[in-house]
Amino acid sequence: MTTIVITEKTSQAKDVANAIGDKFGQIYPAQGHLLTLEMPEDVNPGWDWKNWDFEVLRPPSGFYKTKVDPKSPDNVKRKLASIKDALKTASTVIIATDCDREGEGIGRELTDHFNFGGEILRAMFTATDPKTLRKAFDNLQPASNYENLYQAFRARQQGDQIFNLTMTRSATKSVKPKDIEGALGIGRVKTPTLSILCKRELEILNFNSIDYFEVTAAAEVENGSFEVHHDPEKYGDKIKLLSADSANKIKSLVEGFTGPLSLKCEAKRRGPPKLLDLPQMQKICGSRFGWAADRTLEVAQALYDTHKILTYPRAEAKYLTENHAADVGEMLSGLATLEAFADLIPSQDDVVVRKGKSGHFCDKCLEGVSHHAVIPNVATIEQVAVIYERLSDDETRLFDLVARHYVAALSPDWLYDQTVVTIEAEGHEFKAVGNVTRRMGWKDVLSVDDNDDDKNKEDKSINLPELSDGEASRFANVAVDSKKTKPPPRFNEGSLIAAMQDAWKFVDDGPLKDRLKEAKGIGTPATRGEVIKGLRLQKQIVQKGKHVIPTPAGLQVYELLLGCAPDLVDPGYTAKWELMLDDITVGKSTAIEAVDQISSEAQKLMMVLHAKRFEGNFQSGAPSEKMLKAAKGCARRAGVDLPEGYLTDYSICKTFLDMNMANTYPPSAKQIEWVEKMIAQGKGEPAEGWRTDSKLAGNYLDKAFGGPKGKKKKGKGGFSRKG
């Protein structure tokens, strides 16, 4: 009888062989999931894809069985055959796959499928260098210690199969417009991700920009000058000065003003940001380098697999275990050998190890989590200078990012004096905020975009001269700046992944929102990039420059589901799955209980979709001439492109009209000219807001010219009120 080792992939098998040789038996690599689940028709011929109906596709036994996919590539079949033969004579199996939920499933589903009855041990590691692997194999654990992790994998796998197939068939049978080819694919992660993009896109398309005005001045004092801004919030204008006349009146009042300033100083300190998990790493790389999410993961995986200079990259936490604190000295000494880091390493007396939730080393914060934060690999830190020379440009960029966050986490706090200057000028308050840094601390290590923390407005304050409370000031160069409100930004892949992780932001329920802040959001760090790629392949989203936006078809799918089954597009609803899986991991629930709940939810949503199939309110074919004319007008007024296919596809044209018909557009220059003439001639005042709404301007002109409602009239010189 023998012992064998099963790894997740061939490169991992080579790493294990280099570390331990054949000391623990022959090593057999998998290739991710070598097995697949049965399809519905394998369980029940009546569930064949040709006979779609409204049924929850859950086997009578509760779980689908695993099977060998007959369409698998030959190399997969060969690996399966080798493992199957090895299991027949093995007495012990050591599973040496990745240490997360999916890695546990890759190994354990093989021993289950082939009915292995011997001893199963687990080698757990977060890096694949020889030192780490030898330590893992010297501390093998019974697989039963990780049974909950395996059951969480099973619940995820079975739940996805049951839910996604049931919802896809139900949506296709009920609400899919006839002119959409193929199935209306629904996924518990894919569809809410689409909704995040669609909500943002609709916000942007429906955004009405508002003109506002800002009054600024140079406040001259004894030791120099600085810019101050009028503060409209203090006087009831919640956000902006919307009237140019009001702004110019303030400007006239305060020009040449002299008077005392009020000074409020407060000593402040701020600790460094958290360490990096994969989503945050993808977000920063997306905004700084323009990388797609899978590009970030690809580079990180090379640093982990090939160079062994980084810990496991598919991290889902921003903390380290508290025993990692013992490595701090060795890690900083190793990084100090790199020229790029030599001047960044804090002295021994300045090193700060922050423990607990507010710090970086926290055991409690890692409960139920498979992977700690991404950091340099302590096992190779002595050779880091040699390895660093072999890195590509992209690998160097990413390693530097990770290493800087590690060094910053151990650096002193940023200490600064925050100064708020207020000047009361002729009844109007002007303000400036500035910081005086007393010690840079971790800010010597991380730039503002490295920190990537939009909440820290202190970073955006201005430099102030030396000031004293009550000293005289004089206003010069008073100006009124004309500005416009801006729509929210579109997502890039990195910021979309961050939104998937922060699913709690899309939830209104207080207790659930609080709990989701500690959860993992939609999907996992390992799969979010693939979800985005899948949506792109299905042509529901598209890349536009560095941004990711929904296609017309994607918007249509979103609006259909939002109208009839909003839970399917609710990211908060989907994030509840991850909470269920976390409960299994920590032993608070079981896989069967989770799948029971998922199946129950599928039943409820299926019946909602079933009820919709009788409404018959989905139209196919080409749009009418009236619709086409309206769409062209909307596009012209909004300054946007008409969607591809609007000329021949009713649904695309209607979706565009639904999104744009409600918008308001500013009047033309001719309309403004004639409204002002009519006001000057004593024809009365138009409705408030007419300068930003062409409809209000047009209604006023209709009345001023005395024409019947809706009839086009011409003014002097043949002017048409449509301009």
Cα–chain-centroid distance for residue 271? Answer: 24
Contact 415, 441 (CB under 8 A): yes
Q: Between the CA of residue 371 and those of 100, 321, 365, what are the distances in Å?
A: 7, 10, 11
Q: Decide: 108 and 149 in contact? Cβ < 8 Å.
A: no
- DSSP conformation class of 52: -
Q: Which CATH architecture has domain 157-206+489-612?
A: Orthogonal Bundle (1.10)
**Cβ atoms < 10 Å from Cβ of 264:** 11
> Could you give the count of Cα atoms lying within 13 Å of 358 in the half-sphere of its Cβ?
3
As a whole number of angstroms, the distance between CA 426 and CA 249 comes to 11
**Residue type for 518, please?**
E
Q: Of 119, 23, 106, nearest to 66 (Cα)?
A: 106
Q: Would you say 681 and 700 are in contact if contact means Cβ atoms under 8 Å apart?
A: no
Chain centroid to Cα 3, Å, comes to 43
Neighbours of 325 (CB within 10 A): 15
671 near 697, Cβ under 8 Å? Answer: yes
Burial class (CB in 10 A: 0-12, 13-18, 19+), 3: middle
In the chain, the largest separation of any two C-alpha atoms, in whole Å, equals 105
Which pLDDT value is given to residue 448? 56
Long-range contacts of the stretch 599-602 (C-beta < 8 A, 24+) = 599/56, 599/58, 599/162, 599/163, 601/163, 601/567, 602/56, 602/162, 602/163, 602/166, 602/167
SS3 for 585-605, per residue? HCCCCCHHHHHHHHHHHHHHH
> Could you give phi then psi for residue 508, rounded to 5 degrees?
-95, -25
Percent composition of the chain: helix, strand, coil (DSSP 3-state, to 5): 50, 15, 35
Distance CA 119, CA 655 (A): 59
Which residue type occupies 94? I
What's the angle, vertex CA 39, arms to CA 86 and CA 180, rounded to 5? Answer: 140
362 close to 319: Cβ distance less than 8 angstroms: yes
For residue 528, report the phi and psi dihedrals to the nearest 5 degrees.
-65, -40
Please give the helix or strand (H or E) that residue 113 lies within, else none: helix 101-113
H helices within 567-693, ranges in order? 571-585, 591-612, 625-638, 650-660, 669-680
- Cα(242)–Cα(123) distance, integer angstroms: 65
Contact present, 215 and 237 (Cβ < 8 Å): no
Q: CA 654 to CA 660: how far, in whole Å? A: 10
The answer for residues whose C-beta is within 8 angstroms of residue 624's C-beta and 6 or more apart is none
Nearest Cα neighbor of 439 from 262, 269, 564, 587 is 269
Where along the chain do its domains lie? 2-153, 157-206+489-612, 211-271+414-484, 282-409, 625-660, 669-718
Q: How many residues does the chain have?
A: 723
pLDDT beneath 50: ranges in the chain: 449, 452-458, 614, 616-618, 708-723
Determine the pLDDT at residue 718: 35
Strands of 152-232, DSSP E: 211-221, 224-230
55, two tokens: 């049924």
Q: Which of 398, 407, 414 is nearest to 329 (CA)?
A: 407
Q: Note the pLDDT tens digit of each residue in 296-337.
A: 999 999 999 899 999 989 888 899 988 899 999 999 999 999
Contact between residue 488 and residue 495 where contact means Cβ atoms under 8 Å apart: no
- Candidate CATH numbers 3.20.20.70, 3.40.50.140, 3.40.1280.10, 3.40.50.880; the one for domain 2-153: 3.40.50.140
Report residue 660 as tokens: 């744009």
> Contact 240/482 with Cβ under 8 angstroms?
no
**Topology given in CATH for the domain delimited by 282-409:** Topoisomerase I; domain 4 (1.10.290)
First-to-last alpha carbon distance for the chain, in angstroms, is 91
* Predicted pLDDT at 268: 92
Separation CA 708–CA 226 (nearest Å): 57
Question: What CATH architecture does domain 211-271+414-484 belong to?
Answer: Distorted Sandwich (2.70)
pLDDT value of position 632: 86
SS (H, E, C) 353-409: CCECCCCCECCHHHCCCCCCCECECHHHHHHHHHHHHCCCHHHHHHHHHHHHHHHHH
Which tokens sit at 291?
């990388």
Packing angle between helix 591-612 and helix 147-174, nearest 10 degrees? Answer: 10
Distances (CA, A) of 298 to 273, 282, 283, 301, 656: 24, 11, 14, 5, 37
Distance (Å, whole) CA 461 – CA 409? 23
Give the predicted TM-score (pTM) of the model: 0.71
**pLDDT for residue 560:** 87
Phi, psi dihedral angles at 72 (to 5 degrees): -60, 145
Report helix, strand or coil for 263.
strand
The rounded distance, in Å, linking the Cα atoms of 478 and 525 is: 51
CA gyration radius for the chain? 31
**Dihedral of alpha carbons 127, 132, 135, 137, sign:** positive
